[in-house]
Amino acid sequence: MTDDSEIDGLVRRLRAGRPEMSEPAFTEGRARLLAAVDRAPGSLPEPPLAARRAARPTARRLLPLAAAVAIAILGGGVVVVSVTGEEIPVAPPAGPEQPAGPWYERPLPAIPAEPRNDAGRLGENATDLVVAPGEYLYIERRPRGRDTAEPARTWIPADRSGTWQRTTEDGTMFGDGGRFDTKVVGWWHPDAGFTAALPRDPRALYRQLVADQWPREDAPAAAFRKIAQLLADAVPADLRRALFGTLGYLPGVAVGAETTTGDGRTAVPISIDDQGFHRIVLLVDPATGLLVGGHQVQLVDAPSGREGGLVPAGTIVGEWTADYAVVGRMGDKP
Partner 1 sequence: MTSGPGADQHERPDLTGADAGTVLAGLYDAHARPLHRYLSRRLDTETADDLVAETFLAAWTGRAHYDPARGTARAWLYGIATNLLRRHARREVRGLRALARDGGRACIADPLDAVAVDRADAEGRLRAAARTLAALRREERDVLLLVAWADLTPAEAAEALDIHPRTARTRLHRARTTLRRKLRTQETDR
Interaction site with partner 1 (CB under 8 A): 1-2, 4, 7-8, 10-22, 25-26, 28-30, 32-34, 36-38, 41-42, 44-48, 50-51, 53-55, 57, 104, 181-182, 184, 186, 188, 214-217, 222, 225, 229, 275, 277, 302-303, 305-307
Instruction: Kindly state the smallest distance separating residue 98's Cβ from partner 1, in Å.
Output: 19
Q: Residue 309 contacts by C-beta under 8 Å, 6 or more apart in sequence?
A: 303
Q: Which residues contact 292 (CB under 8 A, 6 or more apart)?
A: 261, 265, 267, 283, 284, 285, 321, 322, 323
Least distance (Å) between residue 185 CB and partner 1: 9
Q: 143, 166 in Cβ contact below 8 A? A: no
Which is closer to partner 1, CB of 26 or CB of 97?
26
Q: How far is the CB of 7 from partner 1 (least distance, A)?
A: 5
Q: Cβ of residue 104: shortest distance to partner 1, in angstroms?
A: 5
User: How far apart are the two ends of the chain, measured CA to CA in Å?
Assistant: 43
CB closer to partner 1 out of 42 and 264? 42
Q: Which is nearer to partner 1, 61 or 200 (CB)?
A: 61
We find the least distance from the C-beta atom of residue 174 to partner 1, in angstroms, to be 17
Residue whose C-alpha is closest to residue 50's, from 209, 223, 212: 212
CB-wise, 32 or 146, nearer to partner 1?
Answer: 32
Q: Shortest gap between Cβ of 331 and partner 1 (angstroms)? A: 23
Q: Report residue 2: phi and psi, to 5°.
A: -125, -20
SS3 of 240, please?
Answer: helix
Q: How far is CA 267 from the centre of its chain?
A: 21
Closest to partner 1 by CB, 8 or 159? 8
Contacts with 48 (C-beta within 8 Å, 6 or more apart), sequence order: none
Closer residue to partner 1, CB minimum distance, 28 or 263: 28
Which residues lie below 8 Å from residue 327, measured CB to CB, with a gap of 6+? 135, 136, 138, 155, 333, 334
